[in-house]
Chain A
Amino acid sequence: MLYRPVQLVLLIVLIVSGLCFASNGTGLKNHILVRVENFTVPPATGPLTHILVRNLHDRPYTVTVQPKFPAGWQWAPENRTVTIEPNQVKRLPFTIEKAAGVKSNSYPIEITVFSGSDKMVYSQNIVCVSAPYFKPEIDGNFKDWSNAIPVTFTTAGKKTIVNTYWSKRYFYLYVQVEEDKLYSYKKKAALIDGVQFALASRNAVTASAAEAKAERYEFLIVDSAGFFAKDKCFYLINPDTALSVTQQRRSLEKLELKEAQVVVKRQGRTTHYECAIPFDVMPAIKPDVGREIAFSVLVHDPDGTGIRDWGKAAGLWPEQRNWFAWCSWEPMKWSTDPPYDSKLEWGLCSSKH
């Protein structure tokens, strides 16, 4: 007589605990987002790196975050335990005490997040996003860029390589875009290829209201059609401008930045964009060794991959998509989803060594 009730109780216990376990097993994945920020100075110089943890749940979460950096590296502390309020993001610092740079500039990181008996493992490849001090000639030669720290990302099978330098007076950018065809800038062009990039001070944020200020400088560099035509840089927005401007499909004609130096060259299946932007037009950014800034790049390849977004490649969360993050212009076309935020970590360092 007692046998059947015991069986039932056991069955109920098993089902309930199974459900609880299932709930816990997916709980972290459903409620906690993780992202490792890229290094803003070369790893060998002992950077402070940050792991971002976001709680999507409607109740506080206490988690232990334990990173695992490449073999042979030393870091401190070994892990951090934090309580995160609903919708809060916590930025957890870890000091890299011993590390070595690699030519590929790609470092696999594994983050294990614990909460009670629940566990989640998150993997991300991070890079060193830093502009060494150097003054290249903007001449379409590109040989000067061997001391830069290349950041490579792939979109729909096509590579984009971003290199940066700085001096006290200029920010230098060199982007290699693998693409089938280059569409140059000319009046009334239906398609234009280009590299759009944004620079801001480290603490700048992108608001989500049209009347808020932009808090960034944004540029577009393009090839100019015509044998003698100079390649161009357009100045799309500055920090004092209302974000409503970003939504206007402005003609580029009146936005040219004459102070910039630009060379765009096509070699094989790659378009090379090289430019120098004077810091004089970006007074909110103080160039200095060790200075952290915000930076991002969009590559326009309308007949190929569409828009290539460094924010996506760098692992920003879907919630960090924002229509106000980048300026529209004529005749560029967005995809159906908003672009990712234009303010990602970047650094100014002395050298890559």
Chain B
Amino acid sequence: MFKRTGLSNIPAVLSFMICVLLLAGCSVNETYVSSGAQEGSSIVTRVASSQNIDPFEAGKQAGEALREEMGQVQPHTIILTECFEDEAQKKQVLKGVCSVLPKDIVFGFSTYGSFAQQGCLDLDSVSLLGIGGRGIATAAALKRDLGIAGLTMEENEDELSRRLRAGGSELTAKLARRPDDRLLVIMADAHSPKNQFLLEGAQKEIGRDFPITGGSANKNAGQTFVYFQGRMYCDSAIALLLSGDFDVSMSGRQAQENAKVISSAAESAAEALNGMKLKPFSVLAFNCAGRKGKLDNISEELTAIQSVIGKQIPLFGAYCAGEIGPADIAGTEKTVSSGVGWHVMFTVLGR
């Protein structure tokens, strides 16, 4: 009797074990660490973009262009921004990029467009920042299920604040830390003004003096995605920590009118550039999509930026639903970074 019962349990036990194995196989690795940075070794950052109504082709073209730009250096980290409508198209963009580049190194978020030295890109576009070389290392983390989808500042401010602070803290705690950590980039499905709560959580872990920049994902209905190792997530945040023997210089400015959007971008770029005492090798710019909407001609802001930084240094810019960086608001408590809206946040990397 006992023996028969034991035998009859074998299929159930096997099924259970198979389920456990399958679940383990499906589980998502929520952290990433590139190889470590070696002092004095090379750092290569390059930007490539593509615009094509076929999202797969757009992703593939951008990936191929980036590979060509990087030359002999294999990127170990890629930041992806894209501006396509609908989840299905965004999936195709990812597929396209990952048909050319390893998906494990692709991180990013859905935006309202991008800008680089080559110009400004709007709908049906993808932009990639490739990071490679032994002189720079990265660590990335994903925080899924922030639990804020559907919550509003008007009705759920306390709950939003609690969940986002906890999420930001958990996200940052997952990052593999190094003594030469220099810059944290946060890309999240938490638009302004929610991004401040997420940032406060991150700052609790990493410190209020640590340089943090980043942007909030497109908040248009059905477009609020962040990307981690080539997969898409809603209601989530990712953090990317850059390390190595380089310095960063940051600046932010806000504006809501055409002329001021243009002039503030130039002022902010100049402040960030002047603050960099070493040789700049890359510029990151997280810009507000609302600012873009105030421009009569969006290329005029880029022209103003180029009048300051020139046309040679790799520029990776994204139009976001909220920005993280030095806030340009009178009376703001002194922290290096704040989560705000209507800003352009520049970070100049130099060594």
Contact = CB atoms under 8 A, between A and B. Distances in A.
Interface of A: 41, 44-48, 93, 95, 100-101, 132-135, 147, 167-168, 203, 288-292, 348, 350-351, 353
A350 B289 contact: yes
| Chain B, interface SS category | loop
Nearest to A133: B220
A283 to B, nearest CB: 14
A353 B112 CA distance: 17
Interface stretch (B54-62, B174-182, B203-211, B291-299): B291-299
Interface in B142-180: 152-154
Interface in B317-341: 319, 321, 341
A9 B257 CA distance: 57
B122 interface: yes
Contacts of A48: 256-257
Contacts of B296: 203
A101 B193 CA distance: 14
Contacts of A132: 221
B229 interface: no
B290 A289 contact: yes
A292 B342 CA distance: 15
Contact of B292 (A44, A134, A290): A290
A351 B220 contact: yes
B91 interface: no
A132 B289 CA distance: 14
B313 interface: no
A290 B293 contact: yes
B198 to A, nearest CB: 16
Interface of B: 85, 112, 122-123, 152-154, 191-193, 218-221, 256-257, 288-294, 296, 319, 321, 341-342
Nearest to B85: A168
Given A93-B257, A168-B123, A350-B218, A289 B341 contact: no
A134 B123 CA distance: 15
Query: Which of A46, A133, A167, A350 has the most chain B CB atoms closer than 10 A to its own CB?
Result: A350
Contact of B293 (A147, A203, A288): A288
Contact of B221 (A44, A46, A134, A348): A134
A15 B235 CA distance: 72
- The 6 nearest A-B residue pairs measured at CB: A290-B293, A290-B290, A133-B220, A291-B293, A48-B256, A289-B289
B291 A290 contact: yes
B221 A147 contact: yes
Contact of A353 (B123, B153, B256, B290): B153
Contacts of B122: 288
A105 to B, nearest CB: 12
Given A167-B85, A290-B294, A45 B341 contact: yes
A20 to B, nearest CB: 41
A289 B293 contact: yes
B344 to A, nearest CB: 13
Contacts of A41: 290
Contacts of A291: 293-294
Nearest to B157: A100
A135 B123 CA distance: 15
A45 B257 CA distance: 15
A177 B220 CA distance: 28
A44 B219 CA distance: 15
Contacts of B152: 353
A48 B256 CA distance: 7
A289 B221 contact: no
A288 B221 contact: no
29 contacts: A45-B290, A46-B341, A46-B342, A47-B256, A48-B257, A93-B257, A100-B154, A101-B154, A133-B220, A134-B220, A135-B221, A168-B85, A168-B123, A203-B296, A288-B112, A288-B293, A289-B220, A289-B293, A289-B321, A290-B288, A290-B289, A290-B293, A290-B294, A292-B293, A292-B294, A348-B293, A350-B191, A350-B219, A353-B152
A256 to B, nearest CB: 28
B292 to A, nearest CB: 6
Contacts of B257: 48, 93
Of A167, A290, A353, most buried by chain B (CB within 10 Å of CB) is A290
A351 B219 contact: yes
Nearest to A101: B154
**Most chain-A Cβ atoms within 10 A of its Cβ — which of B257, B291, B293?**
B293
A237 B19 CA distance: 64
A133 to B, nearest CB: 4
A345 to B, nearest CB: 13
B256 A95 contact: yes
A45 to B, nearest CB: 6
B153 A288 contact: no
